Amino acid sequence: MQSRRMKLQPVLSLASVALAAALLLVALASYQHAQARLRWLVEVAGKNVLIVQKDDAPGTIVPPGDDLSSFVARLPGYLRYALRAEGGRRPNAFDYYTQYVSEGYFSLRGYRFLKGHPLRQDADEAVVGFGLRDLLGKWVTVKGRRVRVVGVLASMADRGWPDSAVEEVIFLPWRLRRGAPAFFFEFASEPEARAALAPVQGWLKAHGYSNYEALPLANLYGLELRRKLRNVLGGALLWGVLAVVLVAAASLTAFRLARALERIRELGIRRAVGAARRDVLREELAASAAWTAWGLGLGWPLALALAGWFEARTGLSARPTAAATLTAAVGLLALSLAAAYFPARWAARQPPAGAVRGLAASLPQKRLGLAMLGLTLGVAAFAVQLGVNRSAEEHTRRMVGDLSSRTAVYSSFLFVGARSVTDPRGVTPLTYADYEALLASPLAGRIAALAYVEAYLTPLSGPAGRAYAYLRAYEDPYPKLAGAHLLAGRWPEPGVHEAVVGRLLAERLFGANDPLGKTLQALGRSWKIVGVYRGAGEALPGNAASDQLLVLRRDLGGTLPGARGEILVQLRSEAPAGTFEAVGRFLTGRHADPKLAPVRPFTRNDLAPEVRAVLLELAAAYRLLAVVILLLAGAGLAAQTLMIARLETRTLGVLRAVGGSRARVFAELLWPLLAAALLAGAVGTAAGAAVSFLVVHAQEATWSLPWAQLLFVTFAAPLLAAVFAAPPAWQAASVPPAAAMRSE
């Protein structure tokens, strides 16, 4: 019995070290991969480019010309520029959605070609977006002029919103342009581009181009938003990894201390036969390093297996890279040496006489306390992680919009009544009639909520300023579906021409004044403002962004010219897969025009696909870290329980010898552990919640306590203790009394 137990213990210690090494490796690797994803998130196109363009305020303007270009060319870091003019922004004034571009425009914007080549400025040539790829090689008539399509751009759908808008554009030579130019100035670096911003703005102002604005192109790609996201998500990630390391350190220290306690008699004997303190210290450190080396060796394949499993389930790689391996190896070694040092020093300082007298065997409370230290830290780290993640997720949701994943938007990007859109890929105009038909169709049974809204681009003016904004005329429950939250006042009543205004628009029109009760002129009548709302996300299709005005559609008395119809659909949770597509086919079928592109559902995953993807992957990484934390805390606890049980072998033998049953001894061993674990859970949860509060505040995000989860965490500790400590406790309780008494 004795020798079997003697062999089992190193195996278990080695297994837990290997497990710790593997978990640390996987945690570090997933941290590294997730960080790379976050870096990728902010690697947007146009970081070094300034755009100078007409702002969206109404009015005719005289655009700047070569005078601007030659001014910018003298700024430090300037590389080159390109020009673009919009051919199709104004209602009913186009045949195709066109853009006129100068030499070098495609390469400056980083648009790659799928087929063909850029257009020649002096020829009648055109380039088309990915959506119009069928036109390659054909002659088409655009604005009364015949041009040949010589190139097709690669699809931009995965580059984010501003680029996917060029999927259905025809690019024409700059010499044919109508309308105001937009300037794209490229600089050698992002700081130089940013530094050029103020001089350019100053120049525009000084030369009277008040309707022209200069901004970093990256702003159009939501760079600021992405940076914030990266900080929030990266911060949460870092805290997760820190928590893992902390728990690993606590578990290791408690483990080494338990081991030193267990071996105190042995160390005393070694001291008695001549080992100096530093001999003992050196031996303990060497042993710890050796364990770590073995653990790393065995942990590596385990980490690979874990990473493979994790990758298969989540798509996020956790494969240890060379850098992660090196970091984990050095880190674990340092950690294990640090964890071994203090316990070993303590053990070495015990007078050998006391050690051989067996003094250490009378410190059970201390041992239990130590065992619980790792668990308390584990629970605290877990709670920190939960709190920080939760805030990161909420922050993210606020930034990228609030449409639920069961909601899709069907939108006519072009305008109702603009039937002159004869392009093969023109978009189906959606109307109120489509909405009514959908309501009456069998598909309605799968739909939980359905809303119709019409968007009108309209000039607005208030005491503090003017704006060219979207007015959305809606049918309930549009605000709810689109995720608009009322900040003040109430929603409009029908029949009395009331409106609610977005927070940003209200600021622009009314400044610091209270907009409630004021009136606004739009679409030929006046609207009384009865509420202010906060919109969700950016001005994407279907979203009620904060720079818009909402009114009831029935107050318009029918659809007006210039409307863009949108239908929002929220499915029942039990709706079969493919329902979104079925709704799209239904709407397409109602127009039955072979020249129009089919109506596609636009779900929130389409709104900011790469941001969502990163978010999903990071959520997986967070979960991985949480599991790693619990496993580390648990494994540490198991190893310590084993040692406590071994230390108490004599006691257990005596208990058994005087008639204690195996179950009774088991319970006596486990009870104090469970009670202490409950305490550890409560203390850890409280500490973790407090720390997460501080962390979240430091990140300037709002903190909300995930009560249910915290409660779960509190009870996770005793649960963990039961699961991990029961096997070694049972093993100890199963020792035949005779063997226990014999053990020296």
Partner 1 sequence: MIELAGVTKVYRKGRVEVPALRGADLRIAEGEHVALVGPSGAGKSTLLYLMGLMEEPTSGRVALFGEDVSNLGDTARSHLRGRTIGFVFQAFNLIPQLKAWQNVALPLRYQRVSKRVQKERALAMLERVGLAERAEHYPAELSGGEEQRVAVARAMVIRPRLVLADEPTGNLDSQSGRAVLDLLEEARSDGATLVVVTHDPAVAARAERVVRVVDGRVQPD
Ligand X SMILES: Nc1ncnc2c1ncn2[C@@H]1O[C@H](COP(=O)(O)OP(=O)(O)O)[C@@H](O)[C@H]1O
593 binds partner 1 (CB under 8 A): no
266 binds, among partner 1, ligand X, none (CB under 5 to 8 A by kind): partner 1
Three-state secondary structure string covering 145-183: EEEEEEEEECCCHHHCHHHHCCCCCEEEEHHHCCCCEEE
The alpha carbon of 652 is separated from its chain's Cα centroid by a whole number of angstroms, namely: 52
**Cβ at position 1, least distance to ligand X in Å:** 32
Smallest CA-to-CA distance from 618 within 419, 395, 454 is with 395
Residue 259 interacts with partner 1 (CB under 8 A): yes or no: no
Contact 529, 499 (CB under 8 A): yes
398/702 Cα distance (integer angstroms): 11
269 makes contact with partner 1 (CB under 8 A): yes
The smaller minimum CB distance to ligand X, of residues 359 and 516, is found at 359
> Which of ligand X, partner 1, none lies near 726, with the C-beta cut-off 5 to 8 A by kind?
none
Closest CB to ligand X: residue number: 354
How near is the Cβ of 650 to partner 1 at its closest, in Å? 12
Q: How far is the CB of 738 from partner 1 (least distance, A)?
A: 12
Interface with partner 1 includes 84 (CB under 8 A)? no
By CB under 8 A, residue 266 contacts partner 1? yes
Tokens found for residue 138: 């054909």
Q: Which stretch binds partner 1 (CB under 8 A): 72-80, 97-105, 321-329, 353-361?
A: 353-361
Please identify which residue in 84, 271, 503, 600 interacts with partner 1, judged by CB under 8 A: 271
CA 605 to each of CA 406, 569, 623, 628, 648: distance values in angstroms, whole numbers, following the listed order: 10, 15, 21, 29, 58
Cis check: omega of the bond before 477, within 30 degrees of 0: yes
Cα separation of 312 and 122, whole Å? 53
Q: Does residue 213 touch partner 1 according to CB under 8 A?
A: no
- Decide if 275 contacts 342 (C-beta within 8 A): no
**What are the respective helix, strand and coil percentages of the chain, to the nearest 5?**
55, 15, 25
Orientation angle between helical segments 264-272 and 277-314, nearest 10 degrees = 150
Q: At closest approach, how far in Å is the CB of 6 from partner 1?
A: 6
- Distance between CA atoms of residues 667 and 660, nearest Å: 11
Please identify, using beta-carbon distances, which residue of 574 and 744 lies nearer to partner 1.
Answer: 744
Shortest Å distance, C-beta 5 to partner 1: 10
- Touching partner 1, residues 1-30 (CB under 8 A): 2-3, 6
Tell me: does residue 345 bind partner 1 (CB under 8 A).
no
Stretch that binds partner 1, among 36-44, 225-233, 262-270, 395-403 (CB under 8 A): 262-270
Size of interface with partner 1, in residues (CB under 8 A): 25
With respect to ligand X, which residue has the nearer C-beta, 353 or 444?
Answer: 353
CB of 353 to ligand X, least distance (A): 8
Binder of partner 1 out of 11, 206, 273, 440 (CB under 8 A):
273
Q: Taking CB within 5 to 8 Å according to partner kind, which of partner 1, ligand X, none is near residue 269?
A: partner 1
- Our CB check for partner 1 shows the closer of 234 and 352 to be 352
Q: Is 356 in the site for partner 1 (CB under 8 A)?
A: yes
In this complex, which beta carbon is closest to partner 1, that of residue 357 or of residue 572? 357
Residue with tokens 């070290």: 17
Q: Of 133, 265, 390, 503, which one interacts with partner 1 (CB under 8 A)? A: 265
CB 632 within 8 A of CB 252: no
Nearer to partner 1, 330 or 657 (CB): 657
Contacts of 15 (CB under 8 A, 6+ apart): none
Residue 464, SS3 per DSSP: coil
Cβ distance to ligand X smaller for residue 360 or 629: 360
Binding flag, residue 486, partner 1 (CB under 8 A) = no
Q: Which of 673, 677, 675 is nearest to 730 (CA)?
A: 673
Q: What residue 528 binds from partner 1, ligand X, none (CB within 5 to 8 A, per partner kind)?
A: none
Is residue 654 a contact residue for partner 1 (CB under 8 A)?
Answer: no
Other Cβ atoms within 10 Å of 542 Cβ, number = 29
Question: Cβ distance 375 to 677 under 8 Å?
Answer: yes
Tokens 């499993």 sit on residue:
309
CB under 5 to 8 A by kind: which of partner 1, ligand X, none does 222 bind? none
The answer to whether residues 551 and 498 touch, using CB atoms and an 8 Å cutoff, is: yes
**364 near partner 1, rule: CB under 8 A:** no
| Under rule CB under 8 A, residue 270 binds partner 1 | yes
Point out which residues pair with 215 in neighbouring strands: 51
Least Cβ distance, residue 38 to ligand X (angstroms): 58
Pick what 271 binds: ligand X, partner 1, none; C-beta below 5 to 8 Å, kind-dependent: partner 1
Q: Quick one: which segment of 265-273, 452-460, 501-509, 722-730 binds partner 1 (CB under 8 A)?
A: 265-273
Kindly tell me which of 137 and 354 has the beta carbon lying closer to ligand X: 354
Strand positions, DSSP E, 463-497: 465-474, 485-489
Q: Quick one: which of 93, 272, 290, 738 contacts partner 1 (CB under 8 A)?
A: 272
What span, in angstroms and rounded, lies between the C-alpha atoms of 372 and 678?
10
Q: How far is the CB of 351 from ligand X (least distance, A)?
A: 8
CB of 267 to partner 1, least distance (A): 10
Strands 181-187 and 145-153: unpaired
Residues of the shown chain interacting with ligand X in the complex, contacts defined by CB under 6 A: 354, 359
> What gap in Å lies between CA 164 and CA 608, rounded to an integer?
11
Question: Is the Cβ of residue 6 or residue 62 nearer to partner 1 in the bound state?
Answer: 6
Query: Which range binds partner 1 by CB under 8 A, 197-205, 466-474, 496-504, 736-744?
Result: 736-744
Q: Which two tokens stand for residue 277?
A: 């303190």
642 closest CA partner among 1, 2, 13, 4: 13
Identify which range of 59-67, 172-180, 349-357, 532-540 contacts partner 1 by CB under 8 A.
349-357
> Strand pairing partners for 157?
none
CB of 744 to partner 1, least distance (A): 5
Q: How far is the CB of 349 from ligand X (least distance, A)?
A: 15
Question: Which residue in 609, 458, 451 sits closest to 542, CA to CA?
Answer: 451
Return the closest-CA partner of residue 662 out of 723, 605, 731: 731
State the minimum distance, in angstroms, from the CB of residue 651 to partner 1: 17
Secondary structure string (H, E, C) spanning 573-626: CCCCCCHHHHHHHHHHHHHCCCCEECCCCEEHHHHCHHHHHHHHHHHHHHHHHH
Least CB distance to partner 1 at residue 274 (A): 2
Give per-residue burial for 108-130: e unless 16+ CB within 10 Å, then b: bbebeeeebebbeeeebbbbbbb
Minimum Å gap between C-beta 271 and partner 1 is 7
Q: Give residues in contact with partner 1 (CB under 8 A).
A: 2-3, 6, 265-266, 268-279, 351-354, 356, 742-744
